[in-house]
Structure 1
Amino acid sequence: MIINGFHPQEFEHPQLGPIIGRKRNEHVIQFRSIPYGHVAARFRHATLISELPPKQRTFTEYGHACPQAEQGMEPFGGPIPGTEKRQYDEFSCLNLTITAPVSVLKSENTHKIPVMVYVHGGGFTVGAHYGGPNDTTRMVTKACEDSRPIIVDLVDEAAKLNEDPCNFALYDQRLAFLWVKRFIAGFGGDINRITAFGESAGSSSLAFHLSSNVPLFDRAILQSGTASAISPKPLANKEGEYQALLRFCGIRVDDPQRLERLRAVPTAKIVEAASSINKAAFSPLADKSFFPIIPNYLNHAKIISDCSWIDAIITGDAVFEGYLFAHNLIDVRPEVFYQHVEDTFGAQNAKIILDVYEISRTMDQNLFWTRLCTLCGDVMFSLPCHILSKELWQSNKKQYRCILSLRNPFPGSFFSNVLGHHFVELIYQFMTFMERLPLQRQRDVCVGFVRRWTALAYGEEPWSQYTWVHEAVAVADSREGWVVRSRVKDLEVSAYDEGGQRRYGKWEALDEVFRSLGEKAPAAVEALSFPTLVTLGNK
């Protein structure tokens, strides 16, 4: 039977009972927007859904996403044909989509396969488990064709502001992982082989979970996001955001009924407020209820290295992460930035930073803009990734390092033809844009992502480990495709790349300056991060 152009497929889950999914092809069935959590009220923690309502058994269409500002698809070459328009609802947005091989859903199957759980990025303000590049059908299909079947779950979490109880988004994500651990075996998944992967805020989320004390997954892929990139902030910072939200919504900050009044504010107003009161990413609250030790720049790598329930990690970044901020940093002048660095670090340390990144007071404005973006991206993404990789090699965990030097091939956006910008892997890793990619090498890179990520999920080596003896780095390159090099070789080869020589030495010089400041290091890192730098454009 065909309904609305697709084949519905009924499946008897041993715990959830009969459910209906969408058969995508001969290999794959997708169960879209299965609810995993119940939100009783705005700014309240969700509870696990352990039983599906009798009338909610069909999961062939996507449900609701968390309310947010609409995102354009220009960086991905425009909308994907057939993509459904997102629907939003704050009380029914805790959903996940399960993409599973047909073979493991058969009643006679007893073999359990690895599970991969993807947590999307978006600065804790935007993003959803469906739409755009995040369809995992082709990823699972390719794994089946390679005789390496996997199950992939896409998690949607509500991104909300904090009042005690707090950190709702992280608890929503934890709830999703707990749901997976409880029910994924019924879909043929192995609860002892769960690999979590994410990008940007999704990757930072996984780093936060690795900094907590609840075991959720066994392996992780952290791409362009750590617990340092969007570090937890103290209560005073979050209270400032809360009061700004109240004022934006026309509520007095001293009103005894302020929380109840805030709960009555229309959803659209809350979405508008989120964009107004925070121009960067929202961050978690530094609270011991979630973080036994509060992660920051100085300790985030050691905390993850000491995590007892993770055994293998891929850490990755892109060669020009800071281009993400280029549009907003265009008005910063070199003389203003130069003075800011001297005021923050003192003359001696400022000279080290400014010399390493070749920044002077009187340099060309456009060249300064490029170097400022490079420095900002390094501080927020590449440097913490590098430090985490070096810390992990001293642990008993398997550690793999990758760098993305891939070009955005799609015309028509601010990111067109940019090499290695933040989130560039979303063009490649799910194989979503295979028909849109103009070159066979780019399509081969997509396949390389799937095969390497799947290898990690199976407990195998995606490439040589990153160790003290052999600093092996996998580079996904627009010119050569996937290659594995030593650090020494990568420095030699990248010296001739248009993206410039790899900046390992610059990162280590920055780290030395930061660590020389002791407890002041996290504040110094903030001073060179986007939320602070963007304010310099007004001076």
Structure 2
Amino acid sequence: MLRHPTLGKLRGLESPLTIQYRNLPYAQFNGRFREASIRDDPVSVDDAVYDATQWGPLCPQIPDGINFDFALAGAELPYTKRRIDEEHGLNAVVTVPKKHADGKLLPVLVWVHGSSGFRRALGETCYRLGILGLLASKELNSGGNFGLKDQILGFQWLQKHISGFGGDPNNITAFGESAGAMLLSTLLQLPTPLFKKAMVMSGSATLRPSKTEKQQEALYNDVVSALDLTEKSSEERKMLLYEIPYEDMIAKLPPLIHVGPSVESRFLDDVVTLSTLSKSTSPSWCTEIVIGDCFHDATCFKTRILNKPNNAEYFIGCINSVLVPEQAQNVIHAYSLSPLDSAETSLVKCIELLTDLRWYLPILYIDIGLEKTARAPKVSRYHFHQPNKFDCQWNGLAAHLFDITLLLQNHRHLLGQDAIRLGEEMADRVFSLAYGSGFVSKHEDDGSGNTVVVWGPDGASKLLRREEYDAELRRGRGMVLLGLGPDVCERLAGTIQFGSSR
């Protein structure tokens, strides 16, 4: 039993190496489409011991969304199906090593989960997702961003209470992948200090950029239409939106509706674009940021975009519709696109182009922004090239989520020795980041910040200079896309992804 100085008596779940404290409420739910408030009261009542051995409920989300993540990773695992509870889903998990020096506060690692699944790490906070976490409209008098603000409360709760678990509130490292990385990238635009270091994996604020008021109103109208509320009066519609059971709401809405953060006065001031990334970087309160991608990150778009009989034909049409002829030919040549390609060859080439547009380019533009910023946090880069070897559709590709599969090691018993070894090397770098030695150590870099960590494709790490990496492993394609300019690249990506340049 732990006598926590502010939370009270807690009983955690013991394993051979750790004690895990689950279902710790960090915020008070104040109603749908309303901001939550931080919980500062003890969790134990009348000096009783709080049972922190059971998983807390999750915030509402697509049913069995974890199976989508397992499909991307390439192999399913058994998991405990957790209860969904809109009111009590704002809870945290804290995992503490059993053996550590008494009185010495340890670095804190916080896993910012994505839209579903992959929730086993040293610490995490659940937050509101999708429409219930991000919907904004004048009619609801809602500025949205509830999921973002939930995360802010989670980090503020950790800053107040983590020392009682033996963690250092001044040395918090946040890491997240995909939607979790998009959220972290957005939090890095804010003036509020939340963590000391961040690792943004396969996602940035440009992947699902903040929506303007006009865009949010259009999304709101789409939601109203999907829920068959268009013909209702404004008051009836608002009442129903607040009262419709979340299960019914999720069932009626498209599963992949394009929600995102909102531009909101005195909170999130502007839309983050490739152009803004090229002019500035993240705030000084974060001392080190790690950014990276997987070579085939766009595998996560397979069911939404890359499901045509001939992907190359569609991509070539999009390229020709956006770019002038010379630019179009340069891009088509760089990715060796041909309408005569087989379906399999076409798919892989288009995955690589979409990955570069949506994942690799933001990294390159952050580099450009750093060169223009006098006072900037240290930024390190990695790129993941280890092929997935599971018997799945992504066999042979460095697919989206496969880096997390190796890093978190939940699939360890299914991996080959090269993948296990690489996962351990990846974890060593994350712990080095958390302990303050740097993701890239001083003896690995000449002080220019020009060193890139490459994971795979042969089960090992190597270091390259940034220009070497683009020339050798990206085949110079990054420079081809940079030559188009940020606005043109975003129009091209939007046209491919949505059928228009929105």
TM-score category of the 2 structures, normalised to the smaller one: 0.7 to 0.9
CA distance in 1, matches of 2:417, 2:184: 33
SS in 1 for 2:412: coil
Confirm or deny: 8 A CA contact 2:74 2:393 kept in the other structure.
Answer: no
What do the CA deviations read for 1:281-314 (whole angstroms, capped 9, x no partner)? 5321122332234311211354434x12111111
Structure 2 letter corresponding to 1:384? P
Confirm or deny: 8 A CA contact 1:393 1:466 kept in the other structure.
Answer: no
Corresponding residue of 2:139: none
Corresponding residue of 1:261: 240
Corresponding residue of 1:324: 300
The 1:479–1:192 alpha-carbon spacing in structure 2 relative to 1, beyond 3 Å, is same
Structure 2 letter corresponding to 1:80? L
CA distance in 2, matches of 1:193, 1:183: 13
**1:159 equivalent among 129, 132, 135:** 129
CA distance in 2, matches of 1:481, 1:268: 45
2:422 is the alignment partner of 1:442:
no
SS in 1 for 2:274: coil
Aligned residues: 480
What do the CA deviations read for 1:202-250 (whole angstroms, capped 9, x no partner)? 1111110111121101111011111111111212222222122112222
Confirm or deny: 8 A CA contact 1:315 1:389 kept in the other structure.
Answer: no
Give how far 1:380 is off: 0.8
Structure 2 letter corresponding to 1:532? G
Corresponding residue of 2:290: 314
SS in 2 for 1:421: coil
2:462 is the alignment partner of 1:483:
yes
Give how far 1:371 is off: 2.1
Confirm or deny: 8 A CA contact 1:32 1:96 kept in the other structure.
Answer: yes
Corresponding residue of 2:484: 513
The 1:17–1:507 alpha-carbon spacing in structure 2 relative to 1, beyond 3 Å, is same
Structure 1 letter corresponding to 2:39? I
The 1:204–1:466 alpha-carbon spacing in structure 2 relative to 1, beyond 3 Å, is farther
Give how far 1:429 is off: 1.0
Structure 2 letter corresponding to 1:98? V
Confirm or deny: 8 A CA contact 1:526 1:532 kept in the other structure.
Answer: yes
SS in 1 for 2:414: coil
2:59 is the alignment partner of 1:66:
yes
Q: Which moved more, 1:345-354 or 1:396-405?
A: 345-354
CA distance in 2, matches of 1:100, 1:409: 32
**1:85 equivalent among 81, 87, 92:** 81
Structure 1 letter corresponding to 2:329? K
> What's the RMSD between the two structures over aligned residues?
2.7
Percent identity of paired positions between Structure 1 and Structure 2: 24
The 1:381–1:36 alpha-carbon spacing in structure 2 relative to 1, beyond 3 Å, is same
CA distance in 1, matches of 2:74, 2:52: 29
Q: TM-score, structure 1 length as denominator?
A: 0.82
Corresponding residue of 2:191: 213
Give how far 1:167 is off: 1.0
Confirm or deny: 8 A CA contact 1:75 1:410 kept in the other structure.
Answer: no
Give how far 1:334 is off: 4.2
2:31 is the alignment partner of 1:41:
yes
Structure 2 letter corresponding to 1:200? S
Corresponding residue of 2:388: 408
CA distance in 2, matches of 1:63, 1:424: 27
Confirm or deny: 8 A CA contact 1:241 1:277 kept in the other structure.
Answer: no
What do the CA deviations read for 1:92-136 (whole angstroms, capped 9, x no partner)? 1111110112245x9xx32111111110123xxxx15xxxx4322
Give how far 1:427 is off: 1.0
SS in 1 for 2:319: helix
Corresponding residue of 2:351: 373
SS in 1 for 2:234: coil
CA distance in 1, matches of 2:28, 2:157: 12
Corresponding residue of 1:31: 21
The 1:301–1:467 alpha-carbon spacing in structure 2 relative to 1, beyond 3 Å, is farther
The 1:252–1:423 alpha-carbon spacing in structure 2 relative to 1, beyond 3 Å, is same
2:498 is the alignment partner of 1:526:
no
Q: TM-score, structure 2 length as denominator?
A: 0.88
Structure 2 letter corresponding to 1:526? G
SS in 1 for 2:429: helix
Unaligned runs of at least 5 residues, structure 2: 137-141
Corresponding residue of 1:101: 97
**1:17 equivalent among 8, 12, 20:** 8
Confirm or deny: 8 A CA contact 2:171 2:196 kept in the other structure.
Answer: yes
The 1:274–1:167 alpha-carbon spacing in structure 2 relative to 1, beyond 3 Å, is farther
CA distance in 2, matches of 1:483, 1:254: 60
Give how far 1:470 is off: 6.3
CA distance in 1, matches of 2:500, 2:302: 11
Q: What is the correspondence of 1:292-303 to structure 2 with a 5 Å cutoff?
A: 292-300=269-277, 302-303=279-280
Confirm or deny: 8 A CA contact 2:490 2:501 kept in the other structure.
Answer: no
Q: What is the correspondence of 1:134-283 to structure 2 with a 5 Å cutoff?
A: 134-136=119-121, 152-161=122-131, 162-163=135-136, 164-252=142-230, 255-257=233-235, 258-276=237-255, 278=257, 281-283=258-260
The 1:74–1:230 alpha-carbon spacing in structure 2 relative to 1, beyond 3 Å, is closer
CA distance in 2, matches of 1:235, 1:429: 38
The 1:256–1:181 alpha-carbon spacing in structure 2 relative to 1, beyond 3 Å, is same
Confirm or deny: 8 A CA contact 2:21 2:95 kept in the other structure.
Answer: yes
What do the CA deviations read for 1:61-83 (whole angstroms, capped 9, x no partner)? 101112222131345565434x3
CA distance in 2, matches of 1:276, 1:134: 21
**1:288 equivalent among 234, 242, 265:** 265
Structure 2 letter corresponding to 1:90? E
What do the CA deviations read for 1:3-49 (whole angstroms, capped 9, x no partner)? xxxxxxx1011111111111111x31100121111212111111111
Confirm or deny: 8 A CA contact 2:312 2:339 kept in the other structure.
Answer: yes
Structure 2 letter corresponding to 1:60? T
**2:110 equivalent among 94, 102, 117:** 117
SS in 2 for 1:435: helix
Confirm or deny: 8 A CA contact 1:200 1:225 kept in the other structure.
Answer: yes
